[in-house]
Amino acid sequence: MPVGYSIYQERDSVLHQRIDPRTKFALLVTSFVLALAYNHPAVLGLLTATVIGAAWWSRLDFRRFLPILLAAGWFLVLGILVWPFYIQVGPPLFFIFGSAITITGLLFGLAMGLRVSLMVAAAGVWMMTTSPQKMTLGLVRMGLPQKAGIAMSTAIRLVPLLNAKRATIVEAQRARGLRLDTGNPLARARKSVSVLGPLLLSAIDLAQAIAIAMDARGFGARAERTSLVQIELTRLDRIILAACGMAIVASVVLRLLGIGVIVQGYL
C-alpha cells in the first residue's frame, strides 16, 4: 500500500502511545452509548466538544481532521432540516407546507444531528490515533478472529487510498472534457458513472492484489500468529475502562430518570 495513504497519524501523545487500543475501542463504544442515551442538544453538544478537544489534545493535524468534521456538520444540518417536521411538541413558531415548526422540534433536530456528529467525530479520532497494527492486535485480543481483525483494519486503511484514486479519476475525466460540476442533479448523477465505474474496478483490482500478497506470505497457514507489536493493559487503561463502565451505567440510569432528555418517548 502506498505510503501516505493512511488515516492514522503518528504523534507523541498520551492517546497515541500510552493508551491500549482495546481501551480506545472501549472509549469509542462508550461515546456511542452516551450519544444514544441522551437527546438533549446541550448534553450532546458538550460530548461532541469533548471529542473535538481530545483531537486537539492529541495534536492531530486538523487539515486532515477537517473532512471528518465537515461530514459531521452535514449530519447536523440534515437533522435540523428533517426532524422538526416529525417533532411538533410545544407552541408553533411558524408553518412550512402546513407543518408546524416548534422550538422543541428544532432543538430535537439539533440533538439528532449532534448525536450522529458525535459518533462520526469519535470514530475519526479513534482511527487517527490508533495504528493499523495495534488496531488489529487489539481486536484479536478481544476475541475477534484474526481474519476479521485484518479485514477491518485493512478496510479502514483503504478509505483514504480509494479517496485519492477517486480524485485522480476525476482529474483524468476533466482532462478529457467531462464537466462533472455542471447540469441538473440528474445529469450530474449520470456523469458520476464515469467516475464510479473506474473506481469500482480499481477497488476490485486492489482487493485482489492484497489477497494475492497475503496468500504469498502464508496468511492463515497457522492458527496462532505472532506479532512484532506488543500491547498490554496498564494501570491508566484499567482506570479508563472502569470510568467507561461507570459512564455507561450512569447514562442508562439518567435516561430512565428522564435527565438529559428534551423529548420523552423518542430515541
Strand pairing of 99-102 and 92-96? antiparallel
pLDDT top residue among 185 and 56: 56
Q: How far is CA 217 from CA 152, 206, 220, 222, 226, in A?
A: 19, 17, 9, 12, 14
What is the value of pTM for the model shown? 0.80
Least confident interval from 66-75, 138-147, 252-261: 138-147
Residue spans of the domains in the chain: they are 1-131+233-267, 144-228
Least confident interval from 67-71, 162-166, 184-188: 184-188
**Residue 101 φ/ψ, nearest 5 degrees:** -105, 120
Least confident interval from 22-26, 83-87, 153-157, 192-196: 153-157
